[in-house]
Amino acid sequence: MAQIVADRRDIDFVLYEQLNVEKLSNYERFSDYNKKVFNMIIKEARQLAIKEFLPANAEGDRDGVTFENGQVSVPECFHRPYQIFLNGEWTSMVESPEYGGQGLPNVVNTAAFEYLWGANYCLANYGTMGHGTGKMIELFGTSEQKELFLKKLYTGEWGGTMLLTEANAGSDVGALTTTARKNPDGTYTITGNKIFITNGEHDLSENIIHPVLARVEGAPPGTKGISIFIVPKIWVEDDGSFNKPNDVVCTGVEEKLGIHSSATCSMALGGKGECRGLLLGEENQGMLVMFHMMNEARFNVGFQAFTYASSAYLYAANYAKERIQGKDLNAGKDKNAPDVTIVNHPDVRRMLLWMKSHVDGMRSLIYYVSLLFDIKDESKNDEEKQKKQGLIDFFIPIVKGYASQRSFDVCVEAMQVFGGYGYTKEYPIEQLLRDCKITSIYEGTDGIQAIDLMARKLTINGGKLFTYFVEEVNVTIAQANCVDRLSKLSAVLSESLEKLESVVNCLIKTMGSDERKTAFAHAFSFLESTGDVVMAWMLLSRAVVGIEKLESSKKKDTDYYEGIIKTAEFFIYNVLPPAKGKMDTIIYGNSASLEIPESCFGG
């Protein structure tokens, strides 16, 4: 079967036709780059993904990680491509050259990693996990901490993690029991146990830097008393040399449904009373420091989910165009009619277009948010900067929650196109489906993203974040209204947007009443409804560009642009109307899920 990772034609459309990212070169910090350089980077990422990363994906899934005597070994097939990955400086593309980076735009990094993550997420993530660790140190660390850790984290020479979760303190971070005691030399002695630690131990890096959430003795209870510490696997002296191994030990790895080649570890800190850490920021500032990483982390999980969906859809589309089975419906009872490829069957086409509409919409959204990260600090005034940051904050739970939900659905639908073959290990769909599922769970479950979207993003800054979103959608609606082929589509989207505004008003009112639990019972429906409106907006935006390009395109591009328009038409006429029904359920405000006796659950 063809080795498929990502759709380069659509990547180019989003980058250069929908978002015009080549204009980033007009900003001083990106002035050394241009479209030619961007294309060269994406091309190289594709080659690395297909030649080195993809062949190790299925093998890594079969072999998994091994754990012995506190040591974790990744699949042997990972070592060669991982070294090529580091040598190519792929882990530090967006970082400042001061810290070993290349200073590239986030949106170009996103395009490159659509290939790299799409080919082998687990492998790439061993190198990129250090980015979040490093970013916290860059923002809150001392000059000495930056000197010791940043360059090695950003370049992937050292690995990074996030030690947050405990057995009784997962989503409820404030319940953690890990403690920290200050030592005379300014370090802290850390004691506790953490679970579900991605890349907590592995043999791809000589050192791993663990940011650890803990409570200093005597600190207030709950999240207000949490601090964050830098805990190296091997202690690093002030001159950068290694001391002895720190007292932080992997006690086991999880056997999981998917991402078998990712080391998900249990970690014990201070089992011998000798785990040392450096305070990052100030005491009791841990949640503030961590949440500077969370936007990026949650965005990346949604992006990870999307790469699975994109691959699954492309495999399904390729299979449907090759698999011959059954006769064309128009052949009637003609026994002599030739068998056709299954892409000719109406229900298969429905599934493919359903997948395509979500994949295309998610790609545009994810690249759009990446671009916002690039341009928010380039704004000419504080109001414009606030708006761009507000849009990022509004879209993060949608990218994470909606994209992970719909990406898994895309993988399910792709398996359906393959039929029984999709359920076997002969084809890559079953691994994509298994690997994708984790994205709706970690970095905050999708239910938590829904609560964040409803309870925080609708209320902060007097509701401005939702207002910013509505303004952006209305710009696209106005553009589409001027195009004959799109005016009816824009009218349907406009009605849905108005309905969503009514839902928001209803939720805000309910959240401020004694019936607030009812609002929270409908938070997930609100996330899904909002996500559907966002997809319709992105697809209509693509169609506005597609119409313009169709009028001036070369003959070879006609089908592509026509496909963009038909994809928007399919989604807005077929997927968006049920979202309006879901909005009705929120307005109805039924509280049956709250009122049913607890004893009724489980029989």
Angle CA(56)–CA(298)–CA(314) in degrees, nearest 5?
45
Pairing of strands 188-198, 276-279: antiparallel
Grade residue 286 by pLDDT with cuts at 50, 70 and 90.
very high
Which pLDDT belongs to residue 551?
A: 81
Written as one string, the DSSP assignment of 56-78 is: HHHHHHHH--EEETTEEE--GGG
Q: Which of 155, 93, 99 is nearest to 127 (CA)?
A: 155
Q: Where are the alpha helices (DSSP H) in 27-67?
A: 35-48, 55-63
Pairing of strands 226-232, 276-279: antiparallel
Look up residue 94 and give its DSSP letter: T
Give the three-state DSSP class for 485: helix
pLDDT averaged over every residue in the chain: 96
Which pLDDT belongs to residue 292?
A: 80
Measured in whole angstroms, how far is the alpha carbon of residue 558 from the centre of its chain? 32
Q: 421: Cβ–Cβ under 8 A, 6 or more apart, which residues?
A: 427
Is the distance from CB of 200 to CB of 212 less than 8 angstroms? no
- Catalytic residue flag (residue 443): yes
Q: Which helix (H) or strand (E) segment is 243 a member of?
A: strand 242-245
Q: Which helix (H) or strand (E) segment is 422 a member of?
A: none
Written as one string, the DSSP assignment of 531-584 is: HHHHHHHHHHHHHHHHHHHHHH--GGGHHHHHHHHHHHHHIIIIIHHHHHHHHH
Is the distance from CB of 161 to CB of 209 less than 8 angstroms? yes
Q: 388: Cβ–Cβ under 8 A, 6 or more apart, which residues?
A: 372, 375, 376, 379
Which pLDDT belongs to residue 245?
A: 96
Mean pLDDT score, 488-510: 97
Residue in this structure with the two tokens 């996990």, named with its chain if needed? 129
Which pLDDT belongs to residue 295?
A: 85
Q: 123: Cβ–Cβ under 8 A, 6 or more apart, which residues?
A: 53, 56, 57, 60, 78, 81, 82, 85, 261
The answer on pLDDT for 555 being more than 80 is no
Q: Which of 440, 306, 432, 439 is nearest to 365 (CA)?
A: 306
Give the three-state DSSP class for 201: coil
Options 443, 472, 501, 548, the catalytic residue:
443
Which pLDDT belongs to residue 1?
A: 63
Top pLDDT among 127 and 173 is at 127
Top pLDDT among 507 and 1 is at 507
Residue 177's CB: how many other CB atoms inside 10 A?
Answer: 13
User: pLDDT tens digit string along 94-104?
Assistant: 999 999 899 99
Give the bridge partners for 252, in sequence order: 266
Which pLDDT belongs to residue 171?
A: 78
Q: Which two tokens stand for residue 329?
A: 């419906």
Grade residue 355 by pLDDT with cuts at 50, 70 and 90.
very high
Burial (0-12, 13-18, 19+ Cβ within 10 Å), 534: buried
Rounded to whole angstroms, the Cα distance separating 119 from 585 reads 39
Give the three-state DSSP class for 439: helix
Residue in this structure with the two tokens 């000197």, named with its chain if needed? 147
Q: Which of 437, 422, 109 is nearest to 305 (CA)?
A: 437
What whole-number percentage of the chain has pLDDT above 90? Answer: 93
Three-state SS annotation for 278-292: EECCCCCCHHHHHHH
Mean pLDDT score, 47-54: 97
Q: Which helix (H) or strand (E) segment is 153 a member of?
A: helix 143-154
Q: Which of 544, 404, 399 is nearest to 457 (CA)?
A: 399
Three-state SS annotation for 427-473: CCHHHHHHHHHHHHCCCCCHHHHHHHHHHHHCCHHHHHHHHHHHHHH
Look up residue 200 and give its DSSP letter: S
The answer on pLDDT for 276 being more than 80 is yes
Written as one string, the DSSP assignment of 486-504 is: GHHHHHHHHHHHHHHHHHH
User: pLDDT tens digit string along 167-219?
Assistant: 988 778 888 999 999 999 999 999 999 999 999 999 999 999 999 999 999 99
Give the bridge partners for 211, in sequence order: 230
User: pLDDT tens digit string along 216-236?
Assistant: 999 999 999 999 999 999 999
Which pLDDT belongs to residue 16?
A: 98
The answer on pLDDT for 368 being more than 80 is yes
